[in-house]
Amino acid sequence: MHALQPHNITLAEYFSMTGLPERTELINGVIYDMVPPGPSHSFTVGELAKYLFLNINDAAIRQEQPIQLFSDNAPQPDIAILKASNNEYRTEHPFAEDVIALIEVSDSTLHYDQHDKMRLYAQSGIPLYYIVDLEHKCMIKHTQPIENTYELIEQTQELSIESLAISLTVSDIT
């Protein structure tokens, strides 16, 4: 008897698949179903997106859409702030080098966002990664990616991106 072996897939295979559940992510070649968002999560992502759309003119904002990392990862961060593009990513999903910042809103997924997603984002060289921790009413800011982690991780009440002249607090979006 042979043991079952997982079949890891590539980004190209993932993006060509049909019939997948609506909310999935490809992480290290494996397709994962995403947890349905609760009301607090949905509200916070919506408020954050609204603020960013109204206050950022020289970058692209994507909400819960894939980004391409390595050859076998397509996470769907809650918010991706991307370098402006002539085609606004019309023909392909953005890559790590297109990312200015990623933001995950966490309630039930805090451990996953602090460990698995953080490692993936650090390995990809994502320069700025925020987690909005709904349970503790704070943000966790990650900067200076090195290997599997970030050199600087700090708890804060403010989301700030100096290059885009934006700043907001946890209470602005929760």
Residue 22 has a pLDDT of: 82
Residue 26 has a pLDDT of: 95
Higher pLDDT, 105 or 84: 105
Rounded to the nearest 5 degrees, what angle is found at the Cα of 154, between the Cα atoms of 70 and 129? 25
Only one residue has tokens 């060509």, namely: 16
Per-residue pLDDT for 13 more than 80? yes
Tokens standing for residue 155: 């708890």
Which whole number is the average pLDDT over 151-171? 94
Q: Tell me whether strands 149-156 and 158-161 are parallel, antiparallel or unpaired.
A: unpaired
pTM, to two decimals: 0.93
How far apart CA 137 and CA 150 sit, in angstroms, is 22
Residue 87 has a pLDDT of: 78
Which whole number is the average pLDDT over 33-59? 94
**Which residue ranges form the domains of the chain, and what is each CATH number?**
37-173 (3.90.1570.10)
Average pLDDT value for the chain: 93
Per-residue pLDDT for 88 more than 80? no
Candidates 12, 17, 18; CA nearest to 72 is: 12
Cα 133 off chain centre by: 14
Residue 2 has a pLDDT of: 58
Residues 6+ apart with CB under 8 A from 17: none
Residue 5 has a pLDDT of: 67
- Quick: pLDDT tens for 135-144: 999 999 999 9
Rounded to the nearest 5 degrees, what angle is found at the Cα of 25, between the Cα atoms of 152 and 164? 45
Per-residue pLDDT for 133 more than 60? yes
Higher pLDDT, 86 or 15: 15
Instruction: Determine contact, residues 100/110, Cβ cutoff 8 Å.
Output: no
Provide the pLDDT confidence category of residue 115 given band limits of 50, 70 and 90.
very high
Tell me the HSE value of 103 on the side-chain side, using a 13 A CA sphere.
Answer: 27
Residue 35 has a pLDDT of: 84
Provide the pLDDT confidence category of residue 130 given band limits of 50, 70 and 90.
very high
